Amino acid sequence: MQRETSGGELTAAQRSEAEQRALEFLAKVVRVPGVRVNREEFLRQELRKLRMGDDAIARAIDSSPLLAGVSLTEIDKLAEEAISYETNKSAAISFVAGIPGGFAMLGTIPADLMQYYAHALRIMQKLAYLYGWGDLLPDGRDADDDTLGVLAVFFGVMLGVGGAAQSLTAFARVAAKTAYQNHATKRALMSITWYPVVKHSLRLIGINITKSTAAKGFSKIVPVIGGFVSSGLTFMALQSQSALLKEHLREIPPPGVDVDEWDRHRLGVTRQGQTPETATTIKKGLRGKAKVVMVGAKSAASGIADGASSLSGGLKGRLGRRK
């Protein structure tokens, strides 16, 4: 018979249950309309902001924005805008889900948690595509366990899981660009330090789902203030976690890209002093921790009016305008 080890560690059965819960949850989230980001459409939309021509955009889509001549500074700016858009939208929706207290607690906790992960997945895809990765979730096909494992390691980087950043780097170096979604390729990658990190990341997600559901419920007991707290926590978490992922992705070559070639483009910009400070970026996401209510109010301000109309109109347009 399995026993729980000292220090509150999980048993093997509990670990397996948490991992399976995470897989099932992620499989549901990726099926939510609007969660998948079309890589080509997204890059075309973002690069047009830089007044790039169609030929240059096509090269960026075929390879990566950096290799197509977009400066790292410009990519970083687009990445920050993508993070800001999704975190503010997530916080605004979370504010709506947090009203009015006990009533919302009964019916919207699963939806609230799901929209948080949905926006995290959208951020994950947008950052990956800006920094040169191929499709993480291609349209028209279900996400298998291996694909969900890749997403779990991305989440692992965001959550600071030990070994996740190194595993993602190893994956990028091993995976061929044209075979990124190849089943055999992904299976072969399990032979590196990948699999334990996948399981650890999934385990944390599974545990987080359970704990977050309870924590979000407590924040909704008090009307209105519950909404501010809920949106503030959403904003803080996504900001800091997205900053961690962004800073890692900008440092490593995407799958199929030569390390030296990537570094020539990346370091060429870094030497000009255009690289934002990682620590500063992360601190900005954490600085408001002691003022969570104020952060929540500010980040959700744009969604308050929409929240009032949504409550009277059946929460129409829950995910709002998609970028």
User: Per-residue pLDDT for the chain (323 aa), expressed as one digit of tens each?
Assistant: 333 333 347 788 888 888 888 888 888 888 888 889 999 999 999 999 999 999 999 999 999 999 999 999 999 999 999 999 988 887 666 555 554 443 344 444 456 677 778 889 999 999 999 999 999 998 777 888 878 888 998 988 988 888 888 888 877 776 644 454 455 555 555 555 567 888 888 888 888 777 765 555 544 444 444 454 455 556 677 888 899 999 999 998 888 787 888 888 877 654 344 444 444 443 444 443 333 333 343 444 444 334 434 333 443 444 344 44
Give the C-alpha separation, 53 to 137, whole Å.
27
- Please, are residues 89 and 119 in contact by the beta-carbon 8 Å criterion? yes
This prediction has a pTM of 0.71
What pLDDT, on a 0 to 100 scale, did the predictor assign at position 44? 97
Residue closest to 129 by CA, chosen among 249, 9, 17: 249
What pLDDT, on a 0 to 100 scale, did the predictor assign at position 61? 96
What pLDDT, on a 0 to 100 scale, did the predictor assign at position 310? 39
- Diameter of the chain measured on Cα atoms: 65
What type of residue is 285?
G
What type of residue is 214?
A
Residue closest to 228 by CA, chosen among 97, 86, 66: 97
Residues 6+ apart with CB under 8 A from 287: none
CA 316 to centroid of chain Cα atoms: 24
Tokens of 214: 């309870």
What pLDDT, on a 0 to 100 scale, did the predictor assign at position 146? 79
Give the C-alpha separation, 281 to 228, whole Å.
23
What pLDDT, on a 0 to 100 scale, did the predictor assign at position 112? 65
3-state secondary structure of 284: helix
What pLDDT, on a 0 to 100 scale, did the predictor assign at position 307? 40
User: Taking the domains of the chain in order of start, what are their residue ranges?
Assistant: 41-70, 72-313
What pLDDT, on a 0 to 100 scale, did the predictor assign at position 123? 95
Q: How far from 40 is each of 43, 109, 131, 132, CA to CA, in Å?
A: 5, 33, 13, 12
